Amino acid sequence: MPKKEDKKLKKSFSKILIIVIAIIILLIAIAFFSGILKKSEETQTLENPLKELILANTNQGKINYERIVEQGVLKFNEDYINYILIALGVNNLHASILGYGNPQVSFILDGESWSSEVNDGKLATKKISSEKTDLIISMTKEEAIRALLSENIEEFMKNSVKTGNTKIEMSANLVELGSKGYLQMYKELTGKEVNTD
């Protein structure tokens, strides 16, 4: 008789274990899909920060680009950087699944340091220097304004990197960059595959 009871006990335990595992898998799936939906809802979109300057410097359909560049440099703020980063696909970056934290991009513009962080799909930029940064983009404010004035910021930035007007430096290790989603963005900007050897 004890053997039958042992078999029944083992069957009961197996059934309970299968149910517990199924519940855990279901909870993980719900958490994963709700995270994806939340992320897609929080995608940031911005209006071109030069819109008012463009309107103010347009006369009879002719845009005074040089005047916009001049005024844009004087009024430069975090919205300019955010707009460029969003155009470059920063919304595809995410917190590291390996525990390295949130994506952080530094800009060096005419000697000024700006730091941008992606946190839960939101982009925050401040005029500060950051010790912990993943990627450093160096350019002039004038080049940034011209990127904002271009028809396609991503293409403008690719050409700017090719001509040397913009420099991109990876300052974190490849594992960290990969775990945050940078490698595709880097490849699209520079046209170079990241050497993982």
Return the higher-pLDDT residue of 5 and 41. 5
Q: CA-based Rg of the chain, rounded to a whole angstrom?
A: 24
Mean residue pLDDT of the chain comes to 84
The DSSP 8-state label assigned to residue 128 in this structure reads S
Q: Checking DSSP bridges between strand 58-59 and strand 112-119, what pairing results, if any?
A: unpaired
Q: What tokens appear for 162 in the block?
A: 């090719």
Per-residue pLDDT, 35: 55
Per-residue pLDDT, 144: 96
pLDDT (tens digit per residue) in 151-161: 999 999 999 99
Q: Are 140 and 163 in contact (CB under 8 A)?
A: no
Per-residue pLDDT, 34: 56
User: Burial letters for 53-80: b for 16+ Cβ neighbours within 10 Å, e otherwise?
Assistant: bbeebeeeeeeeeeebbebbbeebebbb
Pick the CATH number of 51-190 from 3.30.1050, 1.20.120, 1.10.150, 3.40.50: 3.30.1050
pTM for the whole structure: 0.72
- Return the axis-axis angle of helices 78-87 and 141-149, rounded to nearest 10°: 60
pLDDT (tens digit per residue) in 107-126: 999 999 999 999 988 899 99
